[in-house]
Amino acid sequence: MFLIVGLGNPEEKYAKTFHNMGFLAAGDAAALLDAKFRKKECEASVAEAYVGGEKIVIARPLTYMNASGRAVKQLMARYKISPAELVVIYDDYDLPKGHVRIRPSGSAGTHNGMRSVIAETGLTEFARIRIGIRDPEVNIPIINYVLSEVKKEDYELFSSACKRAAEAAVSLAGGERIDLVMGKYNG
């Protein structure tokens, strides 16, 4: 069993914002596994797939970013997920745009969604895949930036980053060691 969670905001008005990179990557992971988001449970939209006989749950919390941890905690309890079976994908203002960085553990950094996940679950030892969004040419407050839409000229860059993040998550869910996944996808 494995749980992949992509953080974002559920309303359509946020669909193309930087803060929805996790949602987009979760959609890409579901597409890679030919899974559809067909049900809602534990305050999340959920898709299910099987790889090598192992169930993989892909989720997009419907709680909004700052309360993402509620859904993650409920999903972990519902599916009896251990920290080693969890990966969370999210945008990261501290990384340059388009970069993907995978880590086996860590802090929330400046990310309120991850602060919520850590606070609700009490965990820091779980895999996370961060998608860099920082553009050094933009100088506005972080909250305004993360809720702004991706520029058209950057769409392909972010689309590619989300696909790489999804591939990394599926590799982890398929049993590939995190150090090998980091070596393949970080950067």
Paired tokens of 101:
């960085």
The torsion region of residue 117 among left (phi > 0), alpha (psi -120 to 50) and beta comes to: alpha
Distance CA 123, CA 53 (A): 27
**DSSP secondary structure string for all residues of 37-63:** --EEETTEEEEEEEETTEEEEEEEESS
Q: Verify whether residue 19 is a known catalytic residue.
A: yes
Which residue type does 93 have? Y
Among 19, 70, 130, 134, which one carries the catalytic annotation? Answer: 19
Catalytic residue list: 19
